[in-house]
With several copies, the nearest count.
Chain A
């Protein structure tokens, strides 16, 4: 089990290698990537920042919870901070399990809890040169509905 906040590109192959074990029959890798459109606006990049010490604690707690609930310790999570270009990977979650159903559930648990409670923020840059902090609790604009 490993959870890390990083300042460099994420290499998914490294995470997959870390969770690999001959006891496991399934590995699930989730990648979050920077989209070119959000809420109807054309995005050119995202800057991620965090309350770093707490983000590290929360991520570690989430992985521990997933391990206990879903029965595998083969869980590795990396979240990147800093300026990311379109298509770059912001978060990678690798889970391996003896059985796939529990593996999928553990993967899902980690990403949903991460988005709910890990203190990380992102500021999107738009084609018109403006930048804005993303607030997932805000109502979506009419354009994106």
Chain B
């Protein structure tokens, strides 16, 4: 299955991109998707347990992904 990972702010900087299509086995969790991102050039600079959102809602790292999900990796927010 395919999941679209979105990267923002400092995370987009370290991975030098703001979007990655990930190919994952059925039943994969957020944690497995993050492991794939860490394997990319610069991915080692992501923190051990970043905030994530699946389809625009905050999610835990054991959430199970399904084909077509949008997985956002969210740096510390700084609005206001």
Contacts and interface: CB of A to CB of B under 8 A. Distances in A.
Interface of A: 32, 48-51, 53-55, 57, 79, 90-91, 111, 114-123, 133-138
Given A121-B75, A122-B78, A136-B78, 14 more contacts: A48-B79, A51-B72, A54-B57, A111-B80, A115-B80, A117-B58, A118-B77, A120-B78, A120-B79, A121-B8, A121-B78, A133-B9, A136-B76, A137-B76
Q: Which 3 pairs from chain A and chain B are nearest by CB?
A: A120-B79, A121-B9, A54-B56
B72 A119 contact: yes
A49 B79 contact: no
A54 B72 contact: yes
Give the interface SS of chain A, mostly helix, strand, loop or mixed: mixed
5 contacts: A49-B8, A54-B53, A55-B79, A90-B79, A117-B58
Contacts of B76: 135-138
A8 B40 CA distance: 36
Contact of A57 (B8, B10, B56): B56
Contact of B75 (A48, A117, A133): A133
Nearest to A117: B77
Contacts of A54: 53, 56-57, 72
A133 B13 contact: yes
B79 A79 contact: yes
B28 interface: no
A140 B75 CA distance: 17
A137 B75 CA distance: 10
Contacts of B56: 51, 53-54, 57
A54 B70 CA distance: 11
Nearest to B72: A51
A138 B78 CA distance: 11
B78 A135 contact: yes
